[in-house]
Chains A and B, each alone.
Chain A
Amino acid sequence: MQKQSIRTYLNNKLLAYLTAAAFLLCAMLIGISIGTVSIHPSTIIRVISAEIFPFISLGNTDAMHANIIMNIRLPRVLLAGLVGASLAIAGAAFQGLLRNPLADPYTIGVSSGASLGAVLTLFFGLSIPFAGMFTLPLFSILFSFLTIFAVLLFARNIERSMKVETIILTGIIFSSFLGALISLMIALTGEELRQIIGWLLGSVSMRGWAYINIILPFFVVGAILLLVNSKELNAMSFGEEKARHIGVDVQKRKMMVLIAGSILTGAAVAVSGTIGFVGLVIPHLTRMLWGPDHRHLLPLSILVGAGFLIIADLVSRTIIAPAELPIGVITALIGAPAFGIILMKRKNKL
């Protein structure tokens, strides 16, 4: 009975959004504040306000602080937030679609495809004319698209109705194969090795505003595509036949969700490398706190995922300062045990 009342209390959706938003805001402030140079939160608020509203005077704020905030910390925090939000909402959508709390962008092979695209670019030193430094991200996104279509084509050839089990199996086949290709290229690489490995482990450091410009449009498109499908995701999490019975155009909606998910994952992997467990743990945690209704699960996952990755990035750059850990190491260190605990709790419940 007590559990019941807790659930009802948390079901107050407004409170859920306020909590999640407060978490994200705190994460951002702390993320910008802490570093080799500590900046007081009030300074951060003043600098950012002055940037947005020109009529607000910077006053006597240190120009160096303003510079650090606007050119180093803020873009880094925003990028971490966008990557975390992208991975979390994509994970939530894939879990709903595949009816499997263990599913995430990685299980269906999208991120492996994106990684391969990036590694290929680095390996061959590819460059798209006029794209310059955006060659790498563009290739990542392109390859994540190619992978998801290859996976879908392959799955459809095995079975016309494309059951979720078939898609997951196909994803695993593709992940293993693409992972092997990546390993092969790393083995063949000489001096580029460190750069590729560093990239594979994931990082949001030293990316700057340019990378935010890359990921933002993809994030907006992908997130909107998923948000308009949240009711359909609710239906599909009861099984595709059930969804069809209720009146969902399953083939069309499934395709929309898969495409949106691959856009989000592809763009995230492109700007930050492979960061695991965000797409797995955040939706799960959000669902446990505020229920499985995708109409709220998706936006809440965006907020929580963004905040989580900002904190993870903060830890990765401060824990062994002045050196930096790849952010993927931190998310795995936090995410894997947390996921293990969730799994055990689930097992006990059943």
Chain B
Amino acid sequence: MLRVQQITGGYAGAPVVKNISFEVKKGELFGILGPNGSGKTTILKMLSGILPHTSGDIVIKGKNLSEYTPKELAKIIAVLPQHSSQAFSYTVKETVSLGRYAHQKGWFQSWSGKDEEAVNRVMEQTGISGFQDNDIQQLSGGERQRVFLAQALAQEPEILLLDEPTNHLDLSYQKELLDLLSVWSKDCGLTVISIFHDLNLAGLYCDRLLLLENGEVNINHVPNEVLKEGRIREVYRTKIEKLPHPRVAAPQMVLVPERSQAESQLEKRIHPSSLEVKEDLLVLRSPFPLKTMSSGVTGSGTGWNRIFLNRHVSKNYDCSDHRAEMAEFVREIGFEPGETVGMMTAVYIEDYSSKFYEEDTFSVFVVVTAGVGNAVDASKSEEHSYHLTPGTINTWIFVNGHLTEEAFIQSIMTATEAKTRALYDQEVIDTVTGTIATGTSTDSILIAAAQQGENLEYAGTITPLGKVIGKGVYECTVEAIKKSQSRINR
């Protein structure tokens, strides 16, 4: 559809774009990325015939760009520029109708039924039919952008060039516009070439990305290959991290702000003294947010949290809407559910067990409450019927160190294995199966890390961190089980 071969050029003086080659196939959604001044807009202007190139070729549908007359070119390529100026107050329909210029023939260039039909169709597609008689100068930025998109579509182009189309649009219109482009490229075979500032949007919607650096091609590949942390950091010269999109198989890049000198020098540690033991509640207040991975009632999953609650509820607690009830409880005692990991237990809070382990470069604080009333042997759990009751072994592990995601997951594995061993040694029996239990039916776990200081890449059982977690969880679980069982026996 479109082939660019070794083009060089730009404005008078030094060339902005050097030796660029790429190819775009029919129906592709092709994104052009690059920092400011990397030559994105220059390339787009060359493709639309506004700027001449000093060497190389641009071939569109097998014919050199320079061989097209402006009218012929306008029937193939339409452009939606970043800014569209309008000096006079044309109506929306008048503006869109201008897009039919190239399709009108003869001296009088009369307006045909086909023109009228095309204009009405694109106004419908872009959702602007409702205000077709309004003055474009009175529209909002987003509405105006849609009018000019309709104008470009009225050209019935095969290739649509866009220069940061989402620039003036709020979130919902950004999505709407890109969804539309995506549909048109897939269903109607429209070839879309667009400049993007937003790497994440580009990654979500484009089939292929061209990354420019100083007027040269850095890479031209699928989004997953282009949007690599190292590459983006280098090209954009900024701190960035890559995450998976929660719903779509596309990478997302997030900025990492520089911390102030004073802030980064301040030592942030979780200390056992932060733990408050109340009658029905175990509270740990961190002076700063911790990165957490947990299975709590509130704040579950991964996140950043400052408040950690383990709340005693009666054995008959109604679990039908426990999340909403817990959030309400958190709010009532003056915390924000949005920054709180909250757990529940039927165990008496005073039977908790905690231990602090100080290593050379990191430290670990373990807090466990354990009751074994619902003990289950996981290998035979199919014999149990499903019902939710408040959790009985709640394990908290606070690490003063910097954990990778891998270390978080390994921490959970190590802690679970240690817990199971504790139950084994305490000979906790699954009353349904009669075998030794591996846990209870509603256990919860929390791994919370300060994400400062020592970098702890792994937490497998024989790594330095794994060793402490294994030992800590085992010791605390055993002690907690003993405490709660002695209460029952009393």
* A and B bind: yes
Which chain A residues have a beta carbon within 8 Å of chain B's beta carbons? 4, 7-8, 96, 99-101, 160, 228, 231, 234-235, 237-239, 241-242, 244-250, 287, 291-293
Decide yes or no whether B49 CB sits under 8 A from chain A: yes
- Total chain B interface residues with beta-carbon distance under 8 A: 39
- Selected from A235, A238, A241, the residue in CB contact (under 8 A) with B50 is A241
Decide yes or no whether B299 CB sits under 8 A from chain A: no
Give 14 CB contacts A-B under 8 Å: A100-B87, A228-B107, A231-B98, A235-B98, A238-B86, A239-B85, A246-B98, A246-B102, A247-B71, A247-B74, A247-B155, A287-B88, A291-B89, A292-B89
Q: A231-B101, A231-B109, A234-B98 are in contact. Are A246 and B74 (CB under 8 A)?
A: yes
Across the interface, do B94 and A247 meet the contact criterion of CB distance under 8 Å?
no
Decide yes or no whether B84 CB sits under 8 A from chain A: yes
Q: A4-B133, A8-B133, A239-B85 are in contact. Are A245 and B74 (CB under 8 A)?
A: yes
Residues of chain A lying within 8 A (CB to CB) of residue B104: 231
Decide yes or no whether B275 CB sits under 8 A from chain A: no
Residues of chain A lying within 8 A (CB to CB) of residue B74: 245-247
- Selected from B77, B85, B89, B134, the residue in CB contact (under 8 A) with A238 is B85
- Selected from A4, A237, A247, the residue in CB contact (under 8 A) with B70 is A247
Q: A245-B50, A245-B78, A246-B98 are in contact. List 4 more A-B contacts (CB 8 A).
A: A8-B133, A96-B88, A241-B79, A245-B81
Residues of chain A lying within 8 A (CB to CB) of residue B72: 247
Q: A4-B134, A241-B50, A293-B94 are in contact. Are A247 and B101 (CB under 8 A)?
A: yes
**Chain A proximity of B347: nearest CB distance (Å):** 68
Report the Cα distance A99→B50, complex, angstroms: 19
Task: Give A239's nearest chain B residue, CB to CB.
Answer: B85
Across the interface, do A99 and B87 meet the contact criterion of CB distance under 8 Å?
yes
Across the interface, do A99 and B102 meet the contact criterion of CB distance under 8 Å?
no
Across the interface, do A248 and B101 meet the contact criterion of CB distance under 8 Å?
yes
Report the Cα distance A292→B107, complex, angstroms: 21
Across the interface, do A244 and B50 meet the contact criterion of CB distance under 8 Å?
yes
Pick from A4, A101, A234, A245 the residue with the most CB of B within 10 Å: A245
Q: A99-B87, A291-B91, A292-B88 are in contact. Are A238 and B70 (CB under 8 A)?
A: no
Interface string of B456-483 (1 = CB under 8 A from A): 0000000000000000000000000000
Decide yes or no whether B402 CB sits under 8 A from chain A: no
Report the Cα distance A291→B135, complex, angstroms: 10
Report the Cα distance A237→B78, complex, angstroms: 18
Across the interface, do B98 and A101 meet the contact criterion of CB distance under 8 Å?
no
Report the Cα distance A247→B84, complex, angstroms: 16
**Chain A proximity of B71: nearest CB distance (Å):** 4
Across the interface, do A241 and B86 meet the contact criterion of CB distance under 8 Å?
no
Decide yes or no whether B69 CB sits under 8 A from chain A: yes
Decide yes or no whether B90 CB sits under 8 A from chain A: yes
- Selected from A160, A246, A250, the residue in CB contact (under 8 A) with B99 is A246
For window 4-60 of B, CB contacts with A under 8 Å fall at: 12, 45, 48-50
Residues of chain A lying within 8 A (CB to CB) of residue B102: 246-247
Q: A99-B87, A293-B90 are in contact. Are A242 and B81 (CB under 8 A)?
A: yes
Across the interface, do A244 and B48 meet the contact criterion of CB distance under 8 Å?
yes
Across the interface, do A292 and B90 meet the contact criterion of CB distance under 8 Å?
yes
Residues of chain B lying within 8 A (CB to CB) of residue A241: 45, 50, 79, 81
For window 89-148 of B, CB contacts with A under 8 Å fall at: 89-91, 94-95, 98-99, 101-102, 104, 107, 109, 133-135
Across the interface, do A250 and B81 meet the contact criterion of CB distance under 8 Å?
no
Residues of chain B lying within 8 A (CB to CB) of residue A245: 48, 50, 74, 77-79, 81, 152
6 nearest CB pairs, A to B: A247-B74, A247-B102, A292-B88, A99-B87, A245-B79, A247-B71
Across the interface, do B101 and A246 meet the contact criterion of CB distance under 8 Å?
yes
Report the Cα distance A239→B79, complex, angstroms: 13
Pick from A7, A231, A246 the residue with the most CB of B within 10 Å: A246
**Chain B proximity of A224: nearest CB distance (Å):** 11
Residues of chain B lying within 8 A (CB to CB) of residue A249: 69-71
Across the interface, do A247 and B88 meet the contact criterion of CB distance under 8 Å?
no
